Amino acid sequence: MRGSPVWVRVLVPAVPRRVFGRHIYVWNLSCRSIIQCIDLGEDSLPLSVKFLHNRNAAEGYVSCALSGVIYRFYKCQASRDCWEVEEVIRIPDKEVKNWIMPRMPAFIVDIVISPDDRFLYVSNWWHGDVRQYELTKGCKPRLVGQVFVGGSIVRCGPVIVCRDEELKCQPEPLVVKCRRVYGGPSRLQLSRDGRRLYVTTSLYSAWDRQFYPDMVR
């Protein structure tokens, strides 16, 4: 994957095309050359690319931070050097008040695939949830688990959710050992046996201060 190297100190979701990348690139490392460029759209910001662990499966997933979309990429059977993508997951925006925009998109920071290729884990930094999807060959991933680790839409916070296609109410703040957890789920690490998932809540210091000031105080 290759995109713009520019990092902005203030993130404006409405204008990602001015700053961030929108493509994934397929390289021939032997020749050190790009053999294919795949455009994922101007509102995408592809951020995390993961292949299946099965060495015989030429496929994987790429998450797009600002569109809330995850694509499956796979090698075409007709051509050994050609790859295709298909949208398999789309996390809907939420209509909100007291935020920087009237609609809050999902901000997918990281994805992790379990060692047995059965599950895909997704971190959603703005909405605050970590999702578990079941991967079944020939079918789109199915949401089978969800837990909130902070986020911008927790109850008693400044953001009010006006319309939500998925949740009936705003989630409760996360408290661990009598301490409130601020920020949202960012980077993920799964144990080798696939039984323990570790989550960080900081993404980028300037954006942490912008969206989760209580975390950096």
Query: Can you give the pLDDT at residue 4?
Result: 46
> What's the pLDDT tens digit per position in 91-137?
999 999 999 999 999 999 999 999 999 999 999 999 999 999 999 87
Q: Give the pair of three-digit tokens for residue 15.
A: 């204008």
Return the domain boundaries, the chain. 47-216
Average pLDDT, the chain: 90
Backbone angles phi, psi at 211, to 5 degrees: -100, -25
- 112 closest CA partner among 72, 69, 52: 52
Backbone angles phi, psi at 77, to 5 degrees: -75, -30
Span 57-86, mean pLDDT? Answer: 89
pLDDT confidence of 1, banded at 50, 70, 90? very low
Q: Which residues of 11-42 are buried (b: 16+ CB within 10 A; e: fewer)?
A: bebeebeeebbbbbeeeeeeeeeeeeebebbe
CB 75 within 8 A of CB 59: yes
> What's the pLDDT tens digit per position in 141-177?
999 999 999 999 999 999 999 999 999 999 999 999 9
